Structure 1
Amino acid sequence: MGKGYQHTHIYIYFSLPIFKAYTFSIMPPLGWLTIFFVLVPSLAQEKVLPIEEQCGAVLTDPFKPLQIGLAADKDCTWNIERPANETTRLVFSVLNLNPNADCSQENVTVTDENLQVLGVLCPNSPNISVFETVGGLSVRVFTDSSTSDRYLYMFYNSFPTGSEPVSCGGDMRGISGTISSPNYPGRHPDFAFCVWHLDAPKNTKIQLSFSEIFIEIDPLCRFDFIAVYDGPSTSAPLLDLLCGRTTAELETSSNSVTLMLSTDYANSYFGFSANYKALPKSNTSSLSCSGNEMTVIINPSYLENLGYTADELTLTDASCGPSSSNPIAFVVPYQACGTVRKVEDHTISYTNTISASLAKGLITRRKQIQIIVTCELDGNTTLEIMYTTEDDIIQEQRDTDRFDVGLSFFTSETFVTPVVQSPYYVDLNQTLFLQATLHLPDSQLTVFTDSCFASSDPKFQASTYDLIRQGCAKDNTYHTFPSGIGFARFSFNAFKFLRTHNSVYLKCRVVICDSDDEASRCNQGCISRHRRDLGSSKWKSNAVVGPIRLSHHTQGEISESISEKDGSIAGHSSLYLFGVLVLAANVLLLSLVALRYSRKQPAAYRYHPVPTQ
């Protein structure tokens, strides 16, 4: 190159992911001009080859994609040969077999070098399946004689055993956070295979918000993909399969989610980033008990509808606020923040209350909210009890563990018409009919009321009155009706607590048993304290209901009140008449005395009113 010449580089990039860059140089009058053009289809296009209708092969490459179309009535095997010191990973991203065939007629069987079966894929198997083994493996595809379009895409790669090509994935726990691909926001590496397992507190679901997804674009997500599973492993139901350039909002049905990222050997982009947070399964809140604390998560929309913000909520100890505002979460220690510990029989319970600070001033237009949470420890069993009150009226109650039992009032002993109003206004000594119902359609389960007690306090921290304890009636008006599949019924007469408000709340513990187990706790009735743990049961559950309030006026109270008022009026009238007569006599006597005195006095000056101007 002659003196005085210089290189001029001009870079021209095309953002279409289906091309790759080629370069060439020209020598213009002012110097060398190097131009980068993106012209030739990239590896993404090279992988989109016509479907090969082949039947088996021996593969020795360290990695290879396979797009296979199969005809009817075939039995084909692909042998992947790899050294004994390598691990081979095989990923199926598309599996399209004859949908009308069963697994015995048509399947894909994966075996290792020793012919041990690693897995069998059937026509109804998920598209995404992954197999790993040391050394090589074999893939046998067997089809029936039916005419059908059959197509599968698989990709394998091998790597030294014990040394993953990319370090990523892992187990995670928490109520919120972020999951992102390796190197994000940089380009993700080739041969990445990452699996994240995320667990949130019990009785919650997980909301996933993918703020960015940018991986290889393909309508079938064959090459690079993100698989999201609704559960703790890749065996859980597939929630969604994502690829290309997009965003996504997903929500699980459980408190676990599994994410799998799989990439091949070409076309690396920015990967993904997803924020997650735990939300209660119910409309209000969720409770989870652990070794030394409770975790409560509140639905933001529920709080917003009541006109409150997270900053206004505290535990019983007002210095203990939420640990997170997105989601709204409380971590409640057993030994602090106003948690009340109670020991009864073999049960230890811890109770705390989440409430909003009272409004200042004379009036408020917001309901007073309380979320009452209790963790009960009974031997090896942990029971999670939570219910919400608005203005001391229980709005929602549930036992948030394995079984959900509800407690409802009915208008009569026929148990046909439930009482829907709350509070439930009753007359003193009125017979009240209740049914504990297992909200689970299982014809093999029956319910038995073990204990039931009342309190004037919706938190049950005041004195309680036993109706039944360990199956033994403690109130002489308590009556048990025959139980049936999934329910237990009883009645008692309404009462009030002396020197307290007229509200009564009930908490009942029920035992759930197999209906065909004659030796179960449900069939043993009243059991004394020293025989408390005899008899088998599937689970224990608590149910809460209330308040019951006495009617403002019963007929007897109205008649008595009228009689008292009539007597009071008559008494007051007699006293008033007597007072008037005495006053009139005194006035007459004083007038006579004054007249007599004035006649004895001599004439003197008298006072006359002077007219004013």
Structure 2
Amino acid sequence: MGPAVDCGRNLRGYSGTISSPNYPNRHPPFSYCLWHLETPKNTKVKLSFTDIFIEIDPLCRFDFIAVYDGPDTNAPLRDVLCGRRVAEVETTSNFLTLQFSGDYANSLFGFSTTYTALPQSNKSSLACNGDSMTVVFNPDYIHGLGYSSSDLTLINASCTAQSDNPIVFEVPFYGCGTVKKARHDHIIFYTNVIYGTAGGDVITRQKDLQFFVTCELDMDSTVEIMYMSTNQVIYNHQENGKYDVSLAYYQSKDFDSPILESPYLIDLNDTIFLQASVNAQDPDLTVFIDTCFASPEPDFKAPNYDLIRSGCIKDNTYHNFASGSGFARFSFNAFRFLKVHPSVYLQCRLVICDINEAESRCNEGCVTRQRRDLGSKLWKTHAVLGPIRLKRHSESEAAGSISEKKEEVVKTDQSSLYIMGISVLVVNILILALVLMRYYRKQPTGYRYLPVATQ
């Protein structure tokens, strides 16, 4: 009997194959596999089991395949399979978890399945990413219109489908004929067309086929960073919105060496260098630092301290560096809040602009008039970096914590002596009471008068 076998992995894509260990040979005893699959947004997953040959049991209690409609085994259970059969299973979302479990006996030949991403509408789907849009067609839908994947192209005819089953177009925002248009309400539109070219040399009875695909991206993003002077460790975390925006610390104004270690040790009044970047292929995009403010609390309640507000610099150590294609850079000197607040949280509102748009927000600079509140729903991207630990403050805190521990030890010793004294006193009182009770019990009983019952 061999050791347990762990298998499975994380998968992303449009289609592929999943098989049990050693397939088409016998799978090892005690096999346990988990595959986590993610397909493009607005699609679902279709599993086609071409071969299942595992231990036969009406209740699938021994060897089994479980299909979950979601990213893990806490998701709804879609189906449980075993025995000798073929099967098809579909999810309702673009996440699927496949579990295979085998016990110690009757190891057979396992299974093989293909997975395919299909539009949730069974026709077509569109998903907008940070620098491209993903179009997925159900092949049956395109075939029903009289076309195949080889008949479809983008505006630039050299840009064809990346996959035949399903039919998938990865449409870049910059290239393949994509047209970009910016509006003053902080929206950028990217549009392309998928054409169907009719076959034949002289005539055709097929209708012209054109799919217009458009992604509109909000240009306002928010990045939250923090630096702390406590021993708490903050792991890097990034949450992607429509635009993929990141914020990173750098060691100097040259911005050639990002800070990778955590925590990032720094002294009060040292200069902190940061770069905000939009991760997109479009070279005409740039980033503008609209607002950055600090708070001692993660919920950004008062007190707040502004570094820059609506493009107007509020802190005398804040400095903007020249921006470029896809990035903006700035710096300020490290500080701490008074009244022994150990942490500083920084929240920045970033605006993404088209370099070629003369009237964009990036070219307005400082705006002193009251601007329309963009609302939190437009703040698409959040990232947590850090911590930056203030060296001197940390040392003073460490010294303070040592003195506090000494005081706690002294207080603990005093409390222990007090409790011990009280305990000794209580024990002595109990002993004295016991002695008195025994003494009085040995004394002769005197005459006593009892009341006489009356009729």
**Which TM-score band applies after superposition, normalised by the shorter structure?**
0.3 to 0.5
Could you tell me the TM-score, scaled by structure 1's length? 0.36
Query: 1 or 2 for the larger relative contact order (CA 8 Å, sep ≥6)?
Result: 2
Please identify which structure carries the higher strand content: 1
Could you tell me the TM-score, scaled by structure 2's length? 0.48
Higher Rg: 1
